[in-house]
Amino acid sequence: MIGGLLFDDRVATDVFAIVQPADFYHRAHREIFAQAMRLHAAGEPIDVVTLGDAARDDGHTTLVGEIAAEVYSAANVAAYARIVADWSRRRAVVTACRQAIDAAGRTDAGELIADLSARLESAGERAIGESLSWRDVLSRMVDEIERSSNAAEDGVIGVRTRIPMLDRALGGLCPQRLIVLAARPSIGKTALANQIAVNAARDGVPGGICSLEMGDAELSARAMAYHCKANLTRLLRGRDDALSAMIRGMEQDDPTPWPLHLDISTYSLTGIEARITSWKRNHGIRFAIVDHIGLVEVEGNVSTYDRVSLVSRRLKKLAKRLDIAILAVCQLNRGPERERRRPTLGDLRDSGNIEQDIDVGVFLHVDPDDLEDQPAPVQVGFLKNRTGRRGWERTPLMFDGQHQTLSERADYCDEDM
């Protein structure tokens, strides 16, 4: 295949669309091919002289000459490229299986399966993405605009959160978007994420929650406190009045059939990717919530900065690949508390490249003087929003911690009356 490139570099575009340097088994071939790609990107010809010179620092000039001497045609080079790519995927499958075998004696079975599933799926992916003609691009754009025009009058085209402020600003949880919900602890970010999930489930929209912080009992109790207007603290302590409120609420609107799925035991990034992929394949989920990304584990000894960067980047890719919305809950650093100010994008804890990866950044903030209020006024800021308005909302949401509910002020007053 490399010899075909040296014979006629007009086939380079076809080859580079199929094969990447990492697809080669031998390091020397990887390095030579990488130099060929650099020459092509720079608009330089690829032949035995230019490539031999480019490969000089790696010590492969003689090997380039030997490869060139063995090939007399560029015919069938695309077919050779597909063979190289196929064997690369086979090696990836073998590696994934060997790693699973090595880990089998010390890893939980569920996490082992999830990790292997994610690795096998990754091995099956192409090295590069889909190539579209401009005609295809325009057709997809028209289809998207048509879907938007057929949406409700309020312009919501994604999964409805049933919180007017969010739906107006975001158009709902739209597919292929990574949305970060960020706040300091105890401000209501998990309550808001759960409220969005419950509202979507009430509408019959399938979704999933990967909860790395809470168990299933606490998470479901919080959901029922919101759904049934039951006091969360009294519910968790088994008080009769709260249990009665929950029973009445469940009788009025049975939550049992909700298409909502929960994972509370997967912490690795590959496992979370596999779980969400499985939910999409088996249940057709339209959104997933990861709470929270600071607890997601990745392989290798990497810094917190690099770990969060890796998590945000792969969650964004996952949202695009599965065509779903992913809502990632994130903690802020202590800066806003110490300086008694609203948070900024830079306050994302150990943020890494998360600011670049996300499509939407929804920030919650409670003024220190209002922390003890019940309900507490929560200021909402859309500090990043690729397709909508940005800035802090004038009217706060009212956070009723007892009932795990965030409401717009008018809505809250109506309910209170």
Residue spans of the domains in the chain: they are 2-124, 146-416
Closest Cα to residue 249, out of 225, 233, 221, 232? Answer: 225
Task: Please write the tens of the pLDDT for every residue from 218-255.
Answer: 888 888 888 888 888 888 888 888 888 889 988 888 88
How does residue 350 score in pLDDT terms, banded at 50, 70 and 90? low
Residue 269 and residue 306: Cα distance in Å, rounded?
13
Task: Please write the tens of the pLDDT for every residue from 308-317.
Answer: 888 888 899 8
Fold: same for 2-124 and 146-416:
no
- pLDDT reported for residue 14: 77
Q: Name all contacts of 106-115 with Cβ < 8 Å and 24+ positions apart.
A: 108/265, 110/265, 110/266, 111/265, 111/266, 111/267, 111/268, 111/271, 113/274, 114/266, 114/268, 114/270, 114/271, 114/274, 114/275, 115/268, 115/270, 115/271, 115/274
pTM attached to this predicted model = 0.70
How does residue 32 score in pLDDT terms, banded at 50, 70 and 90? very high
How does residue 413 score in pLDDT terms, banded at 50, 70 and 90? very low
User: C-alpha dihedral over 178, 180, 181, 185, to 10 degrees?
Assistant: 140
The domain 2-124 having CATH identifier 3.40.50.720: the answer here is no
Mean pLDDT of 270-277: 86
Q: What CATH homologous superfamily does 146-416 map to? A: P-loop containing nucleotide triphosphate hydrolases (3.40.50.300)
